[in-house]
Amino acid sequence: MSKKRVVIAGMGFGGLRAAKKLAGSDVELIMVDRNNYHLFQPLLYQVATAGLEQEAIAYPLRGLTRRWQGASFMLAEISGIDLANKCVETDSGPVPYDYLVVAAGSRTNFFGMESVAAHAFDLKRLDQAEDLRNHILLMFERASSESDPVRKSALLTFVIVGGGPTGVEFAGALRELIVYVLSQDHPGISADETRIILVEAADSLLTAMPGELREYAHQKLTSMGVEVLLDNRVVGATAETVELYGGAVLASHTLFWSAGVAAAELAGSIVGVERGAGGRIVVQPDLSIKGHPEVFVVGDMSSCLDSGVPLPMMAPVASQQGEYAARTILAREQGRTVPPFHYFDKGAMATIGKSSAVATAAGFSVRGYIAWLAWLLLHLYYLIGFRNRVVVMMNWTYAYWFQERQVRLITSRKRRAVSV
């Protein structure tokens, strides 16, 4: 009797966790991804702010999976999924499956604003982090030789949209880069000449956290020199301006967008499935697609309800769902059943700057140095690869003691096209 074939589409947090659980079991495992590496997305902003090398937050998938028995990796772009014929369509040919775990992740959601999509930076891929780092460094190079004070001010104004963890962490890291490094590299530019403007549509930052942590994050960013605009939103952009709701226009050459995500494009190509907000695929309590119990959707592509509300699009959710899908597949092959998926919320955290972070777990809230230390240790723990952990720890230690960022490399002076 031949082994059942399990195909995993996407090797982000959900796909990787499912693969680890299935590796070495009595199934044939095929992992498909457009990239040959697993990316630790929570630290992309540190690549963009010259804190880490891009290789330190990625790990080659073949190196990770080569010792897994019964497992193989396929580098391919997935173009669609044929549910009726149980086949994943790729640019390298069709891949039949008995079970399928769809874990293709998400894309940035610009909410239909084409001008914003055309001019904003976002962080979903390694090359985007490198693009943003190049751009930030180039703004300072151009400002150094700019004689027009109005244009110089626009070059040194950075607008960040979205007051969630990514926006808050990026704002804090960028401010530290400017104050401790770039203003020293460029004697003709004072840190006081720069502006970082964080725009959030809600009435507070980090809306998923308790009130005292939201207020702490706001006060900390403000004390660092970040301008926080609450109850506001960006509605348009050009290469040199950012338009706010109500008509106000900010002169800025840099717009970073972290205000929304939607399911990956693959979700829209799957025929005959129910979709929720952001194009996410509505799943059954066991994370399978209705009418197709052999297909599981996990992570950001999955709309899984918890108390009537879809679970957030976060790495911990994806990881737990990936492992659950793998356990369910193995249980079915053994004639067992498993209870419906239940997400265990381990809490949330965000770093704001040196020795400063906020964290909440099990009803407890922590802020300041202790939260910052917990953030460091947890991110080191979840990074893949001993070398990556060592490199990241050395970079963080060096930055902590010397207030320096070593990866100030402009690797391209030409911005790549923004992909929506």
Segment 252-279 shows an average pLDDT of 94
pLDDT of residue 389: 96
Length of the chain in residues, anyone? 420
pLDDT of residue 414: 75
All residues at 6 or more sequence positions from 93 whose CB lies less than 8 Å from its CB, including other chains: none
Would you say 260 and 252 are in contact if contact means Cβ atoms under 8 Å apart?
Answer: no
All residues at 6 or more sequence positions from 136 whose CB lies less than 8 Å from its CB, including other chains: 48, 49, 50, 158, 174, 177, 254
Of 70, 107, 1, 44, the C-alpha closest to 419 is: 107
pLDDT of residue 417: 46
Note the pLDDT tens digit of each residue in 283-324: 999 999 999 999 999 999 999 988 888 999 999 999 999 999
Would you say 232 and 200 are in contact if contact means Cβ atoms under 8 Å apart?
Answer: yes
Segment 145-159 shows an average pLDDT of 97
- The DSSP output letter for 55 is G
Segment 120-131 shows an average pLDDT of 94
Would you say 275 and 267 are in contact if contact means Cβ atoms under 8 Å apart?
Answer: yes
189: which 2 tokens? 């530019």
pLDDT over 70, % of the chain: 98
Alpha-carbon distance of 83 to 7, in angstroms, equals 13
What pLDDT band is residue 418 in, cutting at 50, 70 and 90? Answer: very low
Q: Which helix (H) or strand (E) holds 369?
A: helix 369-382
- The DSSP output letter for 180 is I
Does the pLDDT of residue 265 top 90, yes or no? Answer: yes
All residues at 6 or more sequence positions from 245 whose CB lies less than 8 Å from its CB, including other chains: 232, 233, 234, 235
Q: How crowded is the C-beta side of 248, counted as CA atoms within 13 Å?
A: 10
Note the pLDDT tens digit of each residue in 9-62: 999 999 999 999 999 899 999 999 999 999 999 999 999 999 999 999 999 999
136: which 2 tokens? 């930030």
- The DSSP output letter for 339 is P
Q: Which helix (H) or strand (E) holds 288?
A: strand 288-289
Q: Classify residue 255 as left (phi > 0), alpha (psi -120 to 50) or beta.
A: beta
- The DSSP output letter for 332 is H
Would you say 159 and 295 are in contact if contact means Cβ atoms under 8 Å apart?
Answer: no
Alpha-carbon distance of 227 to 205, in angstroms, equals 12
Contacts 24+ apart (CB under 8 A), 365-374: 365/209, 365/210, 365/212, 365/213, 367/212, 367/213, 367/216, 374/349
- For residues 113, 115, 121, 127, the Cα torsion angle rounded to the nearest 10 degrees is 100
What pLDDT band is residue 415 in, cutting at 50, 70 and 90? Answer: low
- For residues 139, 56, 326, 343, the Cα torsion angle rounded to the nearest 10 degrees is -60
- Residue 53 CB: number of other CB atoms within 10 A? 17
Radius of gyration of the chain (CA): 22
Note the pLDDT tens digit of each residue in 268-288: 999 889 999 999 999 999 999
- Residue 82 CB: number of other CB atoms within 10 A? 13
169 is catalytic: yes
All residues at 6 or more sequence positions from 198 whose CB lies less than 8 Å from its CB, including other chains: 160, 163, 167, 168, 171, 205, 221, 226, 227, 228, 229
Of 19, 98, 5, 6, the C-alpha closest to 299 is: 19
- Residue 309 CB: number of other CB atoms within 10 A? 8
Instruction: End-to-end CA distance of the chain: give it in Å, rounded.
Output: 45
Q: Which of 19-33, 183-197, 230-244, 405-419 comes out lowest in average pLDDT? A: 405-419
Domain architecture of the chain: domains with CATH: 4-34+76-108+261-333 (3.50.50.60), 134-256+347-402 (3.50.50.100)
φ, ψ (nearest 5 deg) of residue 140: -70, -40
Would you say 193 and 153 are in contact if contact means Cβ atoms under 8 Å apart?
Answer: yes
pLDDT over 90, % of the chain: 91
pLDDT of residue 416: 52
The reported pTM is 0.94
pLDDT of residue 1: 58
Beta bridge partners of 161: 199, 257
Alpha-carbon distance of 172 to 167, in angstroms, equals 9
Does the pLDDT of residue 198 top 80, yes or no? Answer: yes
Who wins on pLDDT, 309 or 369? 369
157: which 2 tokens? 């104004």
Catalytic residue among 53, 141, 146, 169: 169
Does the pLDDT of residue 129 top 70, yes or no? Answer: yes
